[in-house]
Amino acid sequence: MKTAFKKFIPWIILVLIVGGLVAWYFISNRVTSEENASYDVKIAEAQKWYEGREYSTAMSTYYAAAELIPSRVEAFEGIINILVDKNRLEEASAILDQSAQKLSSYDQSILYAILCEKYLADGNDSSALETCKKGQGLGEIHQNLELALGKAYLRNGDTGNASEIFKKSVYDGDNLSEATLLLSYIQSISDKEAAKTTLGSTSPSDKWKIYFDEFSEVLGTLDSDSKYNATKLARVFINNGYSHLAVSVLEPIEADIAEYPEGVYFLGRAYLETGEYDKAITELNRAATLGSLESDVFWAMARAYMQKNDLSSALDCYSKVLGYQGSTPSEDLVSEYLDVLLKNNQTLQADEVLQVVLGKVKVAYLYEYGVKINYVLQKVEKINYYIELLGVLNLEDEDKKEYLYLKARAMLDQNANISDITTVLDQLLALDRFNAKYYYLLGRSEFEQGDAESAKQALNKSLEYDLSYEITEDSSKLLSSID
């Protein structure tokens, strides 16, 4: 009996060891009610800092919460949202790949969905697909991630995988509406009746009702004319960001639409937006010879040439668009044209274009460009002239903020009285207490008055609030010189 018992002793010891390790694991990882309460307080504090745009403080508070309970998702969600807002996507991706490993697979999928949507919003479709696939590899089904993955497939031209994902019965609310609409888009290429059935299978949410109504109307107008049908569908696809679908519907009938301006133009636009720039230029040139939609055609062609680094051809096309738009050129066109010229050091030509447009219309954004151009040309009198023209206009808040910034900046540059500068800066702060340009100019003013510490505080706030990176370079240079 004793001999038999001795045989089981090693197994008994092994069971005790394993049991002890399991018990230790659960005890060491058990979260107390006090820890949960402390975590919730930190998350609430971080959220308040986040809503107040105090991103650094919010970030450190989220990290403190994550250290307290690494297995809860809320802190990591806050961290990822801040990094996405600040456009620090590589850092967000690194956190997903490394720091969030103690989260459940389902919670990690929530974070991957946030990053995927940001890549999609930025038009970085390949990174969106790569990130979504990483999230899907966790083996969990989360509707936000599924929908983002389906959109990423569709943006990359993979309608087969996109269709399978949109057909999944995992969606509700806005997600269900969007998945249904996109599945109907795909089906419409080959089977308009199936597309109608799919579109009618769901009552759209308020957010998506206008898109359902638009596409339902288009589907209702499709007839036996394949050219017109394809063009109608292509217009919807391009306008809603799914240009691969426009290629799918137009490319097979390229020969048939050779004399149809709209069809040729939309095929050129679709090629442009899917990165096939040579094909885009070929189709857009064809559309131009047909003598219709000239403004749209040459504008798209200008963008295609820019992607091919052919500045001369691009500027020629921009000039033609400006001519075709006549006496009321669009702000989007003029801003894009002037930005291209300034970015490529064509400042004198930018000034010539500005004078041409000012001969047609006199609006705030043109005077703002006048200031910007003359800063490069170092013409102080012209800078002050355009600022004065801005000052007599009845400005909307956004233009008024830019006017106050330009005025205070010019006053600093021209060594105006500090009290006068402070008055203008106070007006800018009253309009927007999160204005990054205000804190940059405040930092400059403090530094020039010899208060380096206050200057650094202001410049750090400028960096904190500058989500669009308009003033980050200037603030960083001044901050580094102070340090």
- For residue range 84-97, list pLDDT tens digits in order: 999 999 999 998 88
Segment 407-445, tens digit of pLDDT: 999 999 999 999 999 999 999 999 999 999 999 999 999
**Domain ranges for the chain:** 34-103, 400-483
Give CA–CA dist 195/186, Å, rounded: 8
- At 306, the amino acid letter reads M
Segment 16-27, tens digit of pLDDT: 555 554 444 444
Binning pLDDT at 50, 70 and 90, where does residue 483 land? confident
- CA of 204: how far to CAs of 116, 165, 235, in Å? 24, 19, 21
- CA of 97: how far to CAs of 84, 86, 450, in Å? 15, 19, 45
Please give the residue that has the higher pLDDT: either 292 or 390. Answer: 390
What does the pLDDT read at residue 98? 79
Give CA–CA dist 329/307, Å, rounded: 23
What does the pLDDT read at residue 25? 47
Burial class, 334, CB count within 10 angstroms (exposed 0-12 / middle 13-18 / buried 19+)? buried
What does the pLDDT read at residue 418? 94
Q: Which fold has domain 400-483?
A: 1.25.40
Q: What is the mean pLDDT of the chain?
A: 92
Give CA–CA dist 384/41, Å, rounded: 51
Segment 111-146, tens digit of pLDDT: 999 999 999 999 999 999 999 999 998 888 899 999
**pLDDT (average), residues 458-474:** 94
- At 10, the amino acid letter reads P
Q: What percent of the chain has pLDDT over 70?
A: 93
34-103 and 400-483 agree in CATH topology:
yes
What does the pLDDT read at residue 292? 84
- Taking domain 34-103, whether its CATH number is 1.10.10 is answered by no
Under 8 Å between Cβ of 180 and 196 = no
What does the pLDDT read at residue 241? 95
Max Cα–Cα distance, the chain, nearest Å: 110
Sequence-distant (6+) residues with CB within 8 A of 347 are: 341, 373, 376, 377
Segment 299-341, tens digit of pLDDT: 999 999 999 999 999 999 999 999 999 999 999 999 999 999 9
Binning pLDDT at 50, 70 and 90, where does residue 186 land? very high
